[in-house]
Amino acid sequence: MSHASAVIPTAVAERIKLVIFDVDGVLTDAGIYVGATASGEAVELKKFDIQDGIGMKMLMWSGLEVAIVSGRISQATELRARELGVECFQEADAHKMPAVESLLARYHLGWDEVAMVGDDIPDLAVLRRVGLPAVVANATAPVREIALWESTKRGGNGAVREFCDALLLAQGRLGEAVERYVRERSGS
């Protein structure tokens, strides 16, 4: 049974400088569409939630570092990360720790300054170390048990946006991030 809260404690939120997102089951609904072109070239498609992307952008506008760390290699993931301007690490066989450790070294951060949103056991090694382990509503029991925060929405269906809003709210930056978005798009 999860002991996660719908509210991120302010003291925890204020330490966060880097947010890491898993992909399959977090930024997507965990489904993949696999096929081939007429010439036999493999094609993989994934559905990403647009509101999740805006949430990730709001984190970046608020001065946080944001990265995607996936345990699968997928061109669809690379395309989405590029579109969002988010650094993307794709590690075959779910070896995520080296990518996360390289981010910590680059940004001179401690584990308590990192949040991760995950959904399954490939995320456990990282979730056990970060200061803010967060999970989506469709997360498996082993990751739910260690989460400090859990979304009400499923991965690929607004869970990431829910997390982004909760983190920015706990940091006192949500209103500012929303107004910045509106200002930049209104020409004022």
Which domains does the chain possess? 10-186 (3.40.50.1000)
* Residues 13 and 171 sit within 8 Å (Cβ to Cβ): yes
**Residues 9-38: tens digit of each pLDDT:** 999 999 999 999 999 999 999 999 999 999
Regarding pTM above 0.85, the answer is yes
Q: Tokens representing 160?
A: 């990431």
The pLDDT value recorded for residue 1 is 47
CA dihedral 9, 11, 12, 18 (to 10 degrees): 130
